[in-house]
Structure 1
Amino acid sequence: MQTGHGNDIYDYADIRCDFSSNIPYRNESETIADYLKSHMDTIRNYPDPNSRKLTSQLADFHAVSPDNILVTNGSAEAFYLLAHLFQHRKSVIPYPAFSEYEDACRTYRHEISFLPIGSLQDTPHFEVDMAWFGVPNNPDGTLVSNDTISRFCSKNHHTCFVVDAAYDELCPRNESVKELQGRFKNLIIVHSLTKTFGIPGLRLGYIVADQQIIDGIRSLRPPWSVNVLALEAGSFILENRNRLLPDAASLCAESARLQQEINALPQFEVTASPSNFFLVKMTEGTAAELKQFLIDKSGLLIRDAANFRGLTPQHFRISVQDEVWNHQLIKALKLFYTRY
């Protein structure tokens, strides 16, 4: 497992605002926590190893059979289960990308090839067993359209396409990758309930895929991998989804404003993103130096993105926060280059 993901607050004291994590700062995690407080007695029993209640709720929400759903211990478990099912096969991973795709594939001895994320949509044929990418992609926010994904699946029957939809609901647009579910046997969509709803500590995700793939994965997983509180939270979310969903449109409007402000600073170049997070490249210094400076001087935490394949020591990632903290970040970024 690669270290140095976002939200590495355990390594630092006195973090006042976390720009490093892609979790939306406007979320209803307190509401979910309050609900779980009244259901703590559920820990006296083992969780349902088949997650039947939540699976049924998710099947209804996605209009698929429960046989097409597998609830997992976060997206990460889903990636490792899928890599295990296809062990010793060939995979392609566009870069930069979430490191767990590559880590999972290496764990299960995949032969891995890479291509720049900008080349993905123009790729006509895939001579691999699996292709992995996010929609929107982490860390740069690249979007692959539903038409493109449909073309991939229909023209490459021998390839399974693993689409990480962790941030799908945090990126307002006219289409959702959810609309493709059930249309292609070689399309596997991995969802996260923890990112959208601000509960990453609970670890809760799920896979929507063809029944044959779900059956194969189910046989590989350890029993009770999803704890009872996570299952309870998932059911509560599905029952109250509309009121618990963050306002993605306003969140991403704030992100766009922050991107413009940072890009206006002469020492920073922003990769435009339609999501609540985005990449920035420094023209001088390193992201590691900037990260430590921001921690020491302002208690602000950013994501040093140097350990993403294809990026440089000058890259860092930002997830938008509220207006007050965004203003503090801009002030601190300006101060970084005037500190001498």
Structure 2
Amino acid sequence: MRYISMTSHNIGENLATEQYLMNNKDFGEPLLLFYYEEPCIIVGRNQNTLEEINQKYVDEHNIRVTRRLSGGGAVYQDLGNLCFSFVVHSDSEEFGDFKSFTQPIVDALHEMGATTAEVSGRNDILVDGKKFSGNAMYSRNGKTFSHGTLMLDVDLDVVGKALNVPEDKIKSKGIKSVRSRVTNLKPYLAPEYQDITVPEFRDTLLKKLFKVDSLDEIKDKEVVVTPEEQTKIDKIYEDTYNNWDAVYGNSPEFTVKKRQHFDMGTVDARIKVDDGKISNIKFYGDFFGPGDVEELATALNGKKYERNEIKNVIDSVDTAKYIVGVSKEELVDLLV
């Protein structure tokens, strides 16, 4: 087995590295990747991004959002979470057999004191019946990777807020995440690991997986990305993981109903979104305005369904001509 401990804390850059190594390198043996990143949300390949995240909270707290190649549900990660990924030839493992990939991690955690850790259900790892790891899988061109999370010391308060969609529900064809009881792993580790940091946790797992006492013993197994390879990885990052169309635009078609009562009356907006952009919007309600509100709808059609773009449109038109008594800011808040 070969391994790489990635230095970037940008989830998109790390996923780009994982993708590049899977598609362009063959070490003749399995590859293990470890990485951890600043606050981010990663949605599954078949999910509706806007349905899975609390966009307002995400924007206010600068949480990065990206989409991964693999399926499964949305996950929140921060610097208290460690990700692992195994890359193998597809014929060496059955697709969907998560246990074959995760059991070595579970065995190492048992050695660290988390003796109740177990692979459970389709793709989770639990400790005392609570989830601390979710896993997903992807295959292409004879290779498969299975990657997962290890919630060592994640800010659990943020998990619920960042992934908690507000009351205005979205009717979508996207695959929805299953909300589970989650926990951090650290309280279940042996006393000598209670103050362990994420880098120390990573290195401890490496030593246990390779059955060595020091990482110096496996220096020849470490993978180092060359500058030429990094240039190619950077392009994957920009084209896929830092690309609005790939993250939001690939969301399935969905509809949103936004309705609010103001002092001057009720505004009811029905918004159809396709590939992340407004394909149709209709305004209903008992509001007043000298102009035809259909003109406002026309201005919004074709725009990205995200706050900044909607705000730019609203700021550029005289909204009082169509809806009297509602400020531009209130209208933006209603729509997004």
Interval containing the TM-score (normalised by the shorter chain): under 0.3
Larger radius of gyration: 2
Query: Which structure would you say has the larger RCO, counting Cα contacts within 8 Å and 6 or more residues apart?
Result: 1
Higher strand share: 2
TM-score (norm 2): 0.25
